[in-house]
Chains A and B, each alone.
Chain A
Amino acid sequence: MKFLKKAFAIRETGLFIIVFIFALTLFFTNPAFSSSINIFGVLTGITINLIIAGAMTVLFVSGGFDMSVGVTMGYCGMVVALLLVKHNMPIPLAILITILVGMTIGAVIGFFIAYIEMNPFVVTLAAWFIIESFKYIINGGSNITGIPSNFYTVSFSKVLNVPTIIIFAFISAITFDLLLRKNTFFRKYYAIGGNEKAAIVAGIPIKKKKLISYVLVSAMASIAGIFYTSRFMAGYNEAGAENAFQIITAVIIGGASLKGGRGSVTGTFLGLIFMALVYNALVLYGLDILWNRVAIGLLLILAILIDENLVQRRNPVG
């Protein structure tokens, strides 16, 4: 009984039960759900977001915020495409340079937020506008095609019949989850998010850590962009348009607060699964896909409602 009580106190348990029941309902009421194509489709649909989700959770835990991950992903996808097509670079070098580009973007954004203490929302909003236009500036408005065919193996060579992209996404998510649970460096992000002044007094170098969290997020976004380009074998203009809001929604459904101090990668993962299942249910039942947006919006509000009002809060809000 005590174990149950403890289990329910954890945010993720409730979410896990909801997702589990939802998946079970779909499984029993719709035969198409359990086909391997469908399951595979659901999993592949979340991989791109899952790559970024770990770093995004760390960022949210520390109280940070980044709306520009989508355009960073799209931009870096374009960069790697350009390097491969126009400059005929060997694949490992192209990937390396793209990741460095992503880290630079994260460093610039993080510098202004952590060291000059500007508001993260507005900075990443401005970054969204600016980076999106970078994308068009470097490609002149058109999608980039003609990527060497062996680039496809980056994301879709199979290990034990599972594509590398899925393996990478899951390994990175599990890694970030374990780091946030066990590793001291990452656990201190909870301190920064929970009570920043106390964290400063406790000797945590918050500016450096915040900068690192932004660099991490943009680096993962660039990796996601590389995988995206590899998967679709072209540098697309529209890549990454909706990812930012999808990931933010998943992180919040997963239990993170916008103020920071809470959250876990498991929760974010469950949030992504939940959103994917909702979309999958709409498809399987032949419902209008237009309901997807409404459903996600309602889920988001519902998740926060439940969080704020039903989950035991230890810190009273002033």
Chain B
Amino acid sequence: MNNSNNVKIQKNKKIPAKDILRNFFLSRQFLLIVVIAIMIAITSSQSEAFFTMANISGILFYFSVYSIMAMGLLVLFISGGFDMSIGTHLSFIGVILGILLGNKVPVLAAILITLMVGIFNGLIMGMLVTKLKVNAFVTTLGALFIFRGLAFIIGVNSKVALSSSSVPYFKDFPASFLNLAGGKFYGFEYINFYAFAIALLFFFLMKKNTFFRQNYFLGGNPRAARLAGIKTNFLIVFNFMLVGLMVAVATILRASRIESHTSVAGSLTLGLTIVTSVIIGGASLKGGSGSVTGTLLGVLLLVLIVNFVNITSAPSVYSNIILGSILFASIFIDQVIKIWGSKLFKKYLKKA
């Protein structure tokens, strides 16, 4: 090796504290925290109901349910995949759960079967995308419709479902099921603990676990990842199954907490709304970027926007326009930074 190059090998340098601070204040997460703070300020100034126990626990409930789903979605997005069907997927899985519980299947068995249904759906979608090369958008668009239709058909034709204005719904779950997420612990509901634990788990998985960190590689440069030996197809199928699992978990906890489930529990646009919050949180549709903290903040922002519209006298359309504008602003800023950054880089190259 030629040693005449003046290349200094850098040993593990500690990042100085002021750089950590600077990186934090320039980060997306900080910006999201600021927007969330603004949202809270505006909402509480427009309505005294904001800081009530009922409202806060409502916010925490939706945050818990959506963040569980968003975790699975985040991993899929980082790997470059896409899924917009999680809204109606929730409806469908809940219908299965309702039928199982209604037919007096033991609670533990019902939960396990429901989880497996979610994983199985993910497996099918993953196989369609990888082996049969169906485009992910099209697959999940089709799945969106199929889940919605099946949630209604199975619900309407099941003996244990009740019906209100032709929407099948389930209630009267066994007590042991309701205890799963229905209780409180020092004021915090069980469901919030579940969500917190899952978020913590994903946080550490995406930071430390090699298998999960492979997704960043896969999303960033799929061809390089495959050449480097990463089992790309397996990983993508796994991620779809993970999404299905998380949707099932969220559905089960949700049904346990609100003690009922309807075939319209997940709307056709819920999937897109959660996709929006994941994108606001920093994941790119192309893959390769995204963080658990960003996603959690994105979901929190989404829930706060809907809450703002619900408890103030603002017309409900404000939630759409705020969400759309924030989504647009976040991708616009991303794009501007990308273009600006590449221009700066070219200038740097010219100088050197």
Contacts and interface: CB of A to CB of B under 8 A. Distances in A.
A295 B116 CA distance: 24
Contact of B317 (A118, A136, A291): A136
Contacts of B138: 252, 258, 300-301, 304
A197 B135 CA distance: 22
B328 A293 contact: no
B285 A127 contact: no
Interface in A227-246: 245
B11 interface: no
Given A130-B321, A305-B134, A290 B142 contact: no
B324 A128 contact: yes
Interface in B294-337: 315-318, 320-321, 323-325, 327-328, 331-332, 335-336
Interface residues of B, number: 43
From DSSP, what is the main secondary structure of chain A's interface residues?
A: helix
Interface stretch (B40-48, B96-104, B145-153, B185-193): B145-153
Give the residue among A116, A248, A300, A317 with the most B Cβ atoms within 10 A.
A300
Interface residues of A, number: 46
B290 to A, nearest CB: 14
Nearest to A299: B142
Contact of A301 (B128, B152, B286): B128
A117 B139 contact: no
A118 B148 CA distance: 31
A194 to B, nearest CB: 16
A290 B156 contact: yes
Given A122-B327, A308-B134, A129 B321 contact: yes
Contacts of B285: 119, 121-122
B256 to A, nearest CB: 27
Interface string A261-298: 00000000000000000000000000010111111111
B231 interface: no
B152 A290 contact: yes
B204 interface: no
A126 B153 contact: no
A316 interface: no
Contacts of A257: 135
B141 interface: yes
B317 A297 contact: no
Closest 4 CB pairs of A and B: A129-B324, A297-B145, A293-B149, A294-B149
